[in-house]
Amino acid sequence: MNTSTFDLNLLRVLDALLRERNVSRAAERLSLSQPAVSNALGRLRELLDDPLLLRVGRTMQPTPRALELEAPIRQSLQQIELSLLQGACFDPARSRLQFRIAVTDYVELICMPALMRRLAEQAPGVRIAIEHLDPTLPAERLDKGELDLVLGRFTEVPARFARRHWARETLRLAVRREHPLVKDEPDLAAFLRLQHLWVHGGQTRGMVDQWLTEQGFERQIVYTTPNYLQAAHIVASSDLAAVLPTQLARHFAALLPLTLHELPFALGPFELDIVSVAQRERDVALQWLIGQVASVAPRLADAPADQAPFS
């Protein structure tokens, strides 16, 4: 293959096909006709001597060679776009960009209402697409450009990503009102007698269980869920207990028959971070969005209870 005569437009087509795994959707993404995309795929197959995408049922599956090319092609296209945009004026008021953000349902609740109010004033054409955050940092999806930002708690973030502290949070024990085993502030023994619901969203091991293990204790976890919001409702209508972020716990204690208690051991606060690809630090639009997210960070959860946590 002669790289000096290679049509670089074909790389945009391959990138779209690998994103969509469908010729029609790739054509729509590129604003091209379906025959034009099919023709480009044929040329790519000939030039690279590989089928690249194979039809399996109603979808197209990439070959190992296509998967090998996916990340470098996408990163190169992003770098070209960034280089062309250097010095360009990003106007939030006129922008029609869509940003893809992965968060837990808890972070979505404490961040997105305030963010969307801010965008409605400053950037009414900007769209936000939220995806559920898996228990670990979705590094590969950030690398591929499938996500623009991730908000959550992460113990480790690879050096190729930019990490910005967003908010500080603490934990509270939540049980239903008139819980038969919780009359006053529970001590450690009372805490361990409870049956617990554990929310594993955004983390592989919770702070509570790490502390208990280090002290030689273990709590009774009888229900596990990735959903913080459902957890509050389940606890309010059962004898299960849950350790929840204080912002979330206070929000639902005002809506549901819940009582909140201090943990019978000191864990201290933890940080929530904004994570993006470091290579995009010169992406004016993305950095503007990060600034908007940072501006709506909730106050420390240990603020007085009469202060609204989602203001």
Domain boundaries, the chain: 3-85, 98-169+270-295, 171-261
User: Are 202 and 191 spatial neighbours (Cβ–Cβ below 8 Å)?
Assistant: no
Query: N- to C-terminal Cα distance for the chain?
Result: 59
The single-letter code of the amino acid at 1 is: M
Q: Which carries the bigger pLDDT value, residue 90 or residue 110?
A: 110
Q: Minimum mean pLDDT among 17-26, 152-161, 162-171, 302-311: which range? A: 302-311
> Which pLDDT tens digit goes with each residue over 97-118?
899 999 988 899 999 999 999 9
Structural fold of domain 98-169+270-295? D-Maltodextrin-Binding Protein; domain 2 (3.40.190)
Query: Comparing 98-169+270-295 with 171-261, is the CATH topology the same?
Result: yes
pLDDT (0 to 100) of residue 212: 94
Q: Which residue has the tokens 């389940």?
A: 234
CA separation for the pair 259, 244 (Å, rounded) = 12
Share of the chain above pLDDT 90, in %: 53
- Considering only the top CATH level, what class is 171-261? alpha beta
Confidence at residue 87, expressed as pLDDT on a 0 to 100 scale: 52
Q: For residue range 225-272, what is the model confidence (pLDDT) as tens digits?
A: 988 999 999 999 999 999 999 999 999 999 999 999 999 999 888 889
pLDDT single digits (tens) 48-61:
999 999 988 778 89
How is residue 263 annotated by DSSP? -
Strand partners, 164: 274
Does residue 281 register a pLDDT over 70? yes
Comparing 24-33, 204-213, 293-302, the range with the smallest average pLDDT is 293-302
CATH number of 3-85: 1.10.10.10
